[in-house]
Structure 1
Amino acid sequence: MNRKSTILLILFSLLTLSYCYSKDEIEIFQFQLELTKKYGSKINIYKFLKLDTLESDDSNFDFNKLTRKQIVKQIRKLSTKYHPDKNKKYQKLYERINIAKEILLNSESKKTYDYYLKSTRGFPKYNYKKGGFYHSLEGKTQLNGVLLIVFICLVIFPILHFIYLKSDVMGRKMKLSQFVESILEQHDDTNGLGVKNLKFDTSKEQDGSQVDELRIKFGQVYSVETSGKEILMNPDDLIEEVNWKQVFPMNLIFKNKESSNKKLQ
Structure 2
Amino acid sequence: MSYITKSVLLFAIVASIAYAYTKEEIEMFQFQTELNKKYGSDMNIYKFLKLDKIDSNYKNINNKQIIKQVRKLSAKYHPDKNKKYIKLYQRINIAKDILLNHESRKNYDYYLNSSRGFPKYDFMKGGFYHSLAGRLQLNGILLLLFVLTVVCPFFHVLYLKSTIIGKRMKMNQFIDAIIEQHDDTKGLGVKYLKFDTSEKQDESQIDELCIKFGKVYSVEKDGKEVLMDPSVLIPDMKVSDVFPLNLFFGKKK
| Higher relative contact order (CA closer than 8 Å, sequence separation 6+) | 2
Please give the TM-score of this superposition, normalised by the length of structure 2: 0.48
TM-score by length of 1: 0.46
